[in-house]
Chains A and B, each alone.
Chain A
């Protein structure tokens, strides 16, 4: 699955995007966050304040309990500050 990061989440992870193989026990967005946190200190730091992170699945907003299903792209980012 392709994973993209934006704004301070991107800066903390240290990369804009990456592709990872999902372990079979990763079903939901929350599962994926738990998996990413265990990868290394950079991911752990980016997801430290988990409640502050917003998620999009195939470029649409979703909640953390959403199943990843057949989605190709997931994005993690802070609350938006456009306008």
Chain B
């Protein structure tokens, strides 16, 4: 039976270790767990925070669609995707993807796919808050992100 992904869009922080535990506790069929955490960086001290805007409803919907694609493509035993929104200071978590499977290849690839698709398709936008005060610009999408996503088609 295909697994049901856990998808959350929230302002509060997440605990990557605890989320990993939820995918493995009480199970004996999980042979591989790949966890990716994306954090806010300060861009050499120039940023005081990133403000993440999202499209409520569509953000959850699109993350779920991407997660379902991963589940259809790889034999996963569990999949968790958590994306934060709001103002996030450097050093704090932004996104978590955990893929669990019987074998490593499926877990590695599913987590990689999830992040590539999430970056180009999930409706979130980052605005910079500057260390010297005031707001900076909206972060530009990178051409490389489209190329990364195209690896999976």
Contact = CB atoms under 8 A, between A and B. Distances in A.
B124 A81 contact: yes
Interface in A13-72: 56, 59-61
A4 B53 CA distance: 13
Interface stretch (B24-32, B69-77, B103-111, B133-141): B133-141
A82 B125 contact: yes
Contact of A6 (B38, B53, B83, B94): B53
A62 B62 CA distance: 13
Interface residues on B, range: 20 to 34
Contacts of B57: 59
Interface residues of A, number: 16
A1 interface: no
A61 B63 CA distance: 12
B120 interface: yes
Contacts of A80: 119-125, 141
Contacts of A61: 62, 121
A7 B125 contact: yes
Contact of B126 (A56, A59, A81): A81
Nearest to B140: A81
Given A75-B58, A82-B123, 5 more contacts: A80-B119, A81-B119, A82-B119, A82-B124, A83-B122
Interface of A: 4, 6-8, 56, 59-61, 75, 77-83
11 contacts: A59-B61, A60-B61, A78-B125, A80-B122, A80-B125, A81-B138, A81-B140, A82-B95, A82-B123, A82-B126, A83-B38
